[in-house]
C-alpha cells in the first residue's frame, strides 16, 4: 500500500473517531467483540433470566431473575468497550457493584448464597464444555 493511501486511511479513522457521536462508537465497539464471545455472554444472561428459583442480591436489595438479566444486559452495553470476552463480562460486569464495590450474590431457594462470579464461571464452564463436546462429535461424524 502506498504511503499516501495509508495516510488517507489513518485520517479517515481519526476523523470518524473525533466526529462520530458516542453511541455510534459504542455500537462499533460491541461489534468488535468476537461473535462466539457475544453468544456466550448472551447465553449467560439467558441462564440468569431463566433461573426463576434464584434471587439476585445487589447492594443489599433482592431482585428476581428477569430484573437481574435486564440489569446485567444494560450494564454490559454501558461497558461494552471493556468487555470482549465472556470471562470479562463476568469479571467486569456481573460480579460486583461499580457503585459500592460489593459482590453480587445469588440466593438459592434453600436460602444459601453464592457469589454471582462463582455461579457464572461454573455456568460458563458448562457452556464451553458443551461447545467442546459438540465440536468433538462433529469431527468424529465427519471422519
Distance CA 1, CA 4 (A): 8
- pLDDT on residue 74: 96
Cβ burial 65-74 (10 Å sphere, 16+ → b, else e): beebbebbbe
- pLDDT on residue 143: 59
Per-residue model confidence as pLDDT tens digits over 58-96: 999 999 999 999 999 999 999 999 999 999 999 999 999
- pLDDT on residue 136: 81
Collect the ranges in the chain with pLDDT lower than 70. 1-33, 142-143
Amino acid at each position: 500500500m502506498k504511503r499516501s493511501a495509508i495516510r488517507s486511511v489513518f485520517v479517515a479513522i481519526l476523523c470518524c473517531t473525533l466526529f462520530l457521536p458516542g453511541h455510534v462508537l459504542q455500537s462499533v465497539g460491541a461489534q468488535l467483540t468476537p461473535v462466539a464471545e457475544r453468544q456466550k455472554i448472551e447465553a449467560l444472561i439467558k441462564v440468569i433470566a431463566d433461573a426463576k428459583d434464584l434471587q439476585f442480591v445487589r447492594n443489599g436489595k433482592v431482585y428476581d431473575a428477569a430484573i437481574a438479566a435486564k440489569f446485567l444486559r444494560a450494564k454490559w452495553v454501558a461497558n461494552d468497550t471493556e468487555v470482549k470476552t465472556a470471562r470479562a463480562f463476568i469479571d467486569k460486569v456481573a460480579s460486583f457493584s461499580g457503585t459500592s464495590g460489593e459482590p453480587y450474590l445469588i440466593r438459592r431457594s434453600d436460602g444459601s448464597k453464592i457469589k454471582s462470579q462463582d455461579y457464572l464461571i461454573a455456568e460458563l464452564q458448562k457452556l464451553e464444555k458443551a461447545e467442546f463436546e459438540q465440536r468433538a462429535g462433529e469431527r468424529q461424524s465427519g471422519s
